Amino acid sequence: MPEVQKLQGVRRAVVLLSGGLDSYTAGAIARAEGYELLALTIRYGQIHDREIAAARLVARALGVVKHIELDVNLAAFGGSALVGEGDVPKDRPLDTNEGIPSTYVPARNTIFLSLALAWAEVAGAGAIVIGVNALDYSGYPDCRPEYLEAFERLATLATRGGVEGQSLEILAPLLRMTKADIIRRGTALGLDYGLTHSCYDPDAHGRPCGRCDSCQLRARGFREAGIADPVRA
């Protein structure tokens, strides 16, 4: 597969694109700030492929220069309900203090960011965009600001570009936004959230369960934003 040509003077970013509303919005914010986007979607052994189909739609809507779908089978390790080990929890209180849920995929963001870093270095991208959020999230340790800051430092130490003084930024524009704020921002940017998929455990037709953590967070976000969710309309 031919690589993307490096262009002088072009600000380029690799966006980790899951097909959910967060990565869609993060990518759209980066685009609005003048970045040319490359999209990376990982098939990591998740229990459904509905989000991959959504990522393709979102990539087209964002007008990305190139979209790579990469297979990295984390299901071989297990350790998460999202790769088929145990049931996806349903009807959990959103503000629970029960600890890290079984939907946490061990080291997922570290693996994803490392892959994005490799492509960014090859493509001459100065940033990686990730749609993590430290307010409305399920308690995952790799969604915290200190984690992203540490990875950005690692990127400087671990790459030829970093050693040669070409810094790489980890852009997480949603980090301190509520889900409602994210939805309002995306709506202001003209995003079609009907393209997105958030559910951890959809039915055989790809319809959201409405009961997993992700579905509940999404529903609360749209409700608090005062906007109808087109996926559930």
Note whether residue 218 is domain-resident. yes
Note whether residue 7 is domain-resident. no
**CATH number reported for the structural domain that contains residue 180 in this entry:** 3.40.50.620
**Cα distances (Å, whole numbers) of residue 43 to 82, 188, 205, 214:** 12, 30, 19, 18
Note whether residue 3 is domain-resident. no
Note whether residue 48 is domain-resident. yes
Note whether residue 43 is domain-resident. yes
Write out the residue range of the structural domain in which residue 45 sits: 12-225
Note whether residue 104 is domain-resident. yes
Along the 233 residues of the chain, how does pLDDT read in single tens digits?
456 656 556 799 999 999 999 999 999 999 999 999 999 999 999 998 899 999 999 999 999 999 999 999 999 999 999 999 999 999 988 776 677 889 999 999 999 999 999 999 999 999 999 999 887 666 788 888 999 999 999 999 999 888 888 889 999 999 999 999 999 999 999 999 999 999 999 998 999 999 999 999 999 999 999 999 999 75
Note whether residue 2 is domain-resident. no
Say if residue 187 is exposed, middle or buried (CB neighbours under 10 Å; 0-12, 13-18, 19+).
middle
Total tally of structural domains belonging to the chain: 1
The model's pTM: 0.93
